[in-house]
Amino acid sequence: MANPLYVVTALEMRSVEERAMALGDTVMGLMARAGSALAAETLVVLDRAADGARIVVLVGPGNNGGDGLVAAAQLANAGAAVTVILASARTAADPLLATCLGRGVTVRAAGAELGAAYGDADVVVDALLGTGRSRPLAGDFLRLVAAVRREQERRPSLMVVAADIPSGVDADTGAADPAALRCDVTVTFGLPKHGHFRFPAADLVGRLVVADIGLSAAAMSGLNAQVLEPAAMALLLPTRESASNKGSFGRVLSIGGCANYMGAPVLACRAALRAGAGLVTLGAPHAVSQAMAATLLEVTHLPLTESADGGIAAGAAPIVEEAVSRYDALVAGCGMGQSAGARAFLEALLLDGIAAQAKVVVDADGLNLLAAIPDWWHDLPQQVVLTPHPGEMARLLGSSVADVQRDRVTVANGAAAVWGRVVVLKGAYTVVAAPDGAVRIAPFANPALATAGTGDVLAGITAALLAQGLAPFEAACCGVFLHGLAGELFRTERGESGLLASELTEYLPGIMRDLRAGRTTGWGRIVERRELTP
């Protein structure tokens, strides 16, 4: 299996490269492999024979420009008509530039009139600044990029490929110069950068391709943030033996619902069943349980004492206390409401010991109710997965949504460390963080999922995986990945709007079948790897 796909800052990437060189690699070796990968992906984007294709490579200073020169020479060698435009001077003794000239590449200075160079280009390669430089675009850099933007507007068929990251984008924060190019593909070298998964940069990156440049596991030691990938998630999926019964695959109790939010715990139930749980029970107020009985025939019911406002009453705690040992995982909070009765019930369940030995997913109003309780995490069961969206996370932290969104990885990582529990910070590029510092980033940013009930579905999937024996961090990672893939399949088939949360669950069995079989084609916008070729 390939090395994990770590996500790094610019400084971490520099350290990885330094370790690689200390282990025997060279700058020129890394650059040669990066440039080769850039050339290969440019040919993929071209989607035609290189002969006669017109390619413009924008070359800046430093190693990013060097990658561009390597790519330019290889593209010319493949038969393309290549023009290199130098944003800063390079000496005639530069061996990379000399190779380009020897292969018939046209080399021009940025100060020249460039309209003709862009006017008939099929592809523009942006190798100006790269990840090591986050300065604003100015001078010739700005002039070059602005000219490409004008040509994109005039001729939408023009394709743009970025080397490592679009110029003008900060590789750590995702901040972008207003003039930065919107690229069709970004070929990042060795490892993806945090900025690829943060906005506004994520909207400029296009299709993200991670090119193997020969970094060893030793060079990448000490990194802790990774992208979730199909092969790793397939290894986490529970096995399904032929000689099994419903008890073999775990029992899930979904506790929630109130007069205003009857469907939320039912969505969690449906998701748990589709994610493979052997038996699922709806624990809801009497009226909710009765109303939902015909909606999902496959669940059993644990009717709970109902408060005057149609929610779960504090008096429901003994009912759950008597039943909880029969279940392998709980979902707590979906559609529960925030009444006084619901809060008293939740405190009894999570803080007073009823669920002390249980695996629990806490979602939605379960999180909102906890946020109102000082130091709530001290008495929480150990095997808990907390699944806040940014608003719920802000309430749990006593901060603002803007603070949460400013650096989602750091926020989730810090919260998991303080609370001592697995945290799933939902949203575009969902972050899963463990108390030990491990971080996983989902490669999905899908507006189709921005609709009511999708979080309840995620809670149910995660609970089903917990019930089937996965540890909290594994269940959270696998649940997030399955949920995100379901959204990608919907987007591929039907677009980015109109999703009903219940529809997500219908994709789950097929996704798990394909993951187990190693089939990953047609899954939409996941990060693509390009392995190093001999």
Say what the pLDDT of residue 48 is. Answer: 79
List, in order, residues 6 or more apart from 512 with CB less than 8 Å away: 237, 275, 276, 482
Closest by CA position to 186, among listed 201, 173, 175: 201
Q: Is residue 231 part of a domain?
A: no
340, 256: one domain: yes
**Shared domain check, 425 and 292:** yes
Q: Torsions phi, psi of 251, nearest 5?
A: -120, 130
* pLDDT exceeds 90 at position 390: yes
CATH number for 21: 3.40.50.10260
Distance, in Å, from the CA atom of 482 to the CA atom of 487, rounded to the nearest integer, reads 9
Among 332, 403, 341, 344, which residue's Cα sits nearest to residue 373?
344
Provide the pLDDT for residue 95.
95
* Residue 135: predicted pLDDT: 72
Domain extent, residue 521, equals: 248-526
Tens digit of each residue's pLDDT (9 = 90 or more) over 296-331: 999 999 999 999 999 999 999 999 999 999 999 999
Asked if 422 and 385 touch (Cβ cutoff 8 Å), the reply is yes
**CA dist., res. 358 & res. 361, Å (int):** 10
> Residue 2's pLDDT is what?
78
Pairing state of beta strands 251-255 and 279-285? parallel
pLDDT digits (tens, 9 = 90+) for 429-465: 999 999 999 999 999 999 999 999 999 999 999 999 9
CB 376 within 8 A of CB 414: no
Band of pLDDT at residue 347, cut at 50, 70 and 90: very high
| Domain-located, residue 242 | no
- Are residues 259 and 164 located together in one domain of the fold? no
* Residue burial 73-101, b: 16+ Cβ < 10 Å; e: rest: bbbbbbebbbbbbbbeebeeeeebbebbe
Phi, psi of 315 (to 5 degrees): -70, -5
Q: Answer whether residue 234 is part of any domain.
A: no
Give yes or no: residues 260 and 184 share one domain: no
Distance, in Å, from the CA atom of 413 to the CA atom of 100, rounded to the nearest integer, reads: 46
The pLDDT assigned to 116 comes to: 65
Residue 293 lies in a domain: yes
Residue 113: pLDDT band (50, 70, 90) is low
Among 332, 353, 355, which residue's Cα sits nearest to residue 343? Answer: 332
Judgement on whether residues 255 and 215 belong to the same structural domain of the protein = no
| Residue 94: C-alpha distances to residues 70, 98, 106 (Å) | 12, 6, 15
Whole-angstrom CA distances from 182 to 200, 453, 497 are 10, 32, 23
The structure tokens 């994709």 sit at 507
Strand partners, 209: 187, 528
Tokens of 378: 């001290």
Report yes or no: 383 and 449 within 8 Å, Cβ to Cβ: no
CATH number at residue 434: 3.40.1190.20
Q: What is the pLDDT, as a whole number, of residue 130? A: 86
Tell me the pLDDT band of 85, cut-offs 50, 70 and 90: very high
Q: What would the DSSP string read from start to end of 440-478? A: EE-----GGG-STTHHHHHHHHHHHHHHTT--HHHHHHH
CB 65 within 8 A of CB 59: yes
Counting Cα atoms < 13 Å in the Cβ hemisphere of 69 gives 24
Residue 156 burial by Cβ neighbours in a 10 Å radius (0-12, 13-18, 19+) = exposed
pLDDT for position 1: 55
Q: What is the pLDDT of residues 264-308, one digit of tens each?
A: 999 999 999 999 999 999 999 999 999 999 999 999 999 999 999
Does some domain include residue 1? no
Tell me the C-alpha to C-alpha distance, in Å, between residue 528 and each of 9, 174, 186, 191, 401.
Answer: 19, 20, 11, 11, 31
Query: Is residue 228 included in any domain, yes or no?
Result: no
Q: Are residues 217 and 255 in the same domain?
A: no
269 bridge partner residues = none
Domain co-membership, 78 together with 122: yes
* 384 and 465, same domain (yes or no): yes
Secondary structure (DSSP) of 426-441: -STT-EEE-TTS-EEE
Domain boundary among 202, 221, 240: 221
Q: How many domains does the chain have?
A: 2
What is the residue-averaged pLDDT of the chain? 95
Residue that the structure tokens 């059993």 belong to: 300
Residue 355 forms part of a structural domain: yes
* Structural domain contains residue 4: no
Query: Which of 221, 239, 267 corresponds to the end of one domain?
Result: 221
Let me know the angle formed at the C-alpha of 46 by 45 and 49, rounded to the nearest 5 degrees.
135
Are 405 and 390 in contact by the 8 Å Cβ rule? The answer is yes
Same domain? 195 vs 318: no
What is the predicted pLDDT for the residue at 47?
82
pTM (predicted TM-score): 0.95
Same domain, 215 and 254: no
* Position 528 pLDDT exceeds 70: yes
- In this structure, are residues 118 and 159 in contact, taking their beta carbons and an 8 Å threshold? no
Q: Which two tokens stand for residue 218?
A: 């030793």
Start-to-end Cα distance in the chain: 17
Section 472-486 average pLDDT: 98
414: which 2 tokens?
A: 């810090």
- The reply to whether 311 and 179 lie within a common domain is no
CB 121 within 8 A of CB 154: no
334: tokens are 């979906």
If asked whether residues 170 and 277 sit together in one domain, one would say no
Backbone angles phi, psi at 407, to 5 degrees: -150, 80
